Amino acid sequence: MSIRLRLAAQFGAILVITLVLFALAIYFVTQRARREEFTQSLFRRALVVGHAYADGQARADSSHQASYRLYLRQLYRTLPAEEGRVYDPSGQLVFREGQRPPTQPIPAAWLAEVRQLGRAVLEPEAHYHETVGLLYQDVRLGPLVVVAASVDEEGRSQLAGLRQVLIVGLVAAAAVMSVGGWLLAGQALHPLRRMVGEVDGITATDLSRRLTQATGPADELGHLAQRFNRLLDRLESAFAGQRTFVRDASHELRTPLTALIGELEVALLPTERPTADYRRTLQSTLDAARQLNGLTNGLLQIARASGDPSQVPMTQVQVDELLLQAHEQLLRRYPTCRVDVELSDEPAPAVRGNEALLLAAILNVLDNACKYSAGAARPVLASLLPTDKGRLRLLVQDYGPGLSPADLEQVFVPFFRAAAVRALPGHGIGLPLTAQIMALHGGLVRVVSEPDRGTEVWLEWPAMG
């Protein structure tokens, strides 16, 4: 079942149920009000009969009594199937008139109830027929019980007409609501159908297209279009980054591979060469292999840091210990580099993270500082201090050539290398890898640099409570 049909059916069902309940409420309220009005009319008829009977009996003249009895007979012919009875204080039937044939006698217990309560209903309305009793007090005749019964033909006709009107109205309303619900559902789903058509035109090779957003206040479909467009923005950025990464990685891998193949081809030439040439070839090959190994490890680390955070094991890590460990490895790599480590007097708070990835991030920043500040008069400074916001901050400051504003905007682009340091060995993946590792741990990286004034790199983590 389509969404349009389901919405129209649900909308119609809700309205039909509401209208049916409303119609039933109208019908039963009307029926009850009519019953009460009919009962009260019977009591009034009984009172009139009591007056007429008492007045007729008070006349000594037989002609007057006959005229009253004629009046009562005419009175009881005004309502359909009407019947009236009068019982004296002893319970004897002294008067009966009406259009219905004699029915079963009135129970004496009920007559006693009427005398006690003043009025009572013998037969609650069934099939529009009802019988009531009224106590009529007369000084000369004593307490009389007047019984009135009739059939509410007018109420029957009115309720039948009301039922017909309600049924026809419900059927007509259901038909109108079905058509209206179908049209409204189609109108409400029109933007969704347009979105489906636009989504069908978006492919992996063309992620530049976006969903059309309606003008005016945004509804739920407008919010959906906004979220989907943001998803497309992220996908387009990810695809562009992937293409750039593959292109740059291929270029970087091709350089050491080309050097490696060239040196091996020269070594395999049939011409005899001195031993020193072979040693030089092997040394070049080893350097190219090391460069290739370093580049491959860096690419693997970037892929690992870019993966699912839930798949990376996290433990409690002491960053001050990692900093000292990275400092030790750095001195073995650059024996002539001077790095001053500054720690606070109190133990640094622990962070939650992956020890190997955090060590790689710190080592990348220290490696860049030593590599790019070689020959500087002042040492590299690494300061690890907690902040007043419950975070831990590492500042690595060098006094190398620095970066221009244009280069500073691209330091986190994989394989980008500033013009001032392209002569130095490297692949341009240190800071991008560090940024991805810090993002994986909920931290951040900030680089501040000016040409000929050195560079400051800030690493900041949320500390464990």
φ, ψ for residue 418, nearest 5 deg? -65, 155
pLDDT tens readout for residues 17-65: 888 999 999 999 998 898 888 888 888 888 888 887 887 776 655 555 5
Domain boundaries, the chain: 3-159, 220-304, 311-462
pTM of the model: 0.47
| Per-residue buried b or exposed e for 34-52, using 16+ beta carbons within 10 Å of the residue's own CB | bbeebbebbbebbebbbeb
Per-residue model confidence (pLDDT) at position 352: 87
Q: How does pLDDT run across 149-164, given as a tens digit for each residue?
A: 888 888 888 888 988 9
User: Could you report the average pLDDT of every consecutive run of 10 residues in the chain (465 residues)?
Assistant: 75 85 91 88 84 73 58 58 83 77 75 89 75 87 88 85 90 85 78 76 72 68 78 76 63 67 77 77 76 65 59 81 86 83 82 83 85 78 82 87 80 68 64 81 86 86 78
Q: What is the chain's mean pLDDT, rounded?
A: 78
Q: pLDDT tens across 222-272, in order?
A: 777 788 888 877 777 767 766 666 665 665 566 567 777 877 877 777 777
Q: What pLDDT is attached to residue 28?
A: 92
List alpha helices for 201-318, DSSP H: 220-267, 275-305
Q: Where do the H-state alpha helices sit in 59-97?
A: 62-75
SS3 398: strand
Domain spanning 3-159: which superfamily?
A: PAS domain (3.30.450.20)
352, 464 contact by CB (below 8 A) = yes
Which listed CATH number (3.40.50.1820, 1.20.58.220, 1.10.287.130, 1.10.1040.10) goes with 220-304?
Answer: 1.10.287.130
| The listed CATH number (3.40.50.970, 3.30.565.10, 3.40.1350.10, 3.40.50.720) that belongs to domain 311-462 | 3.30.565.10
φ, ψ dihedrals at 268, nearest 5°: -90, 5
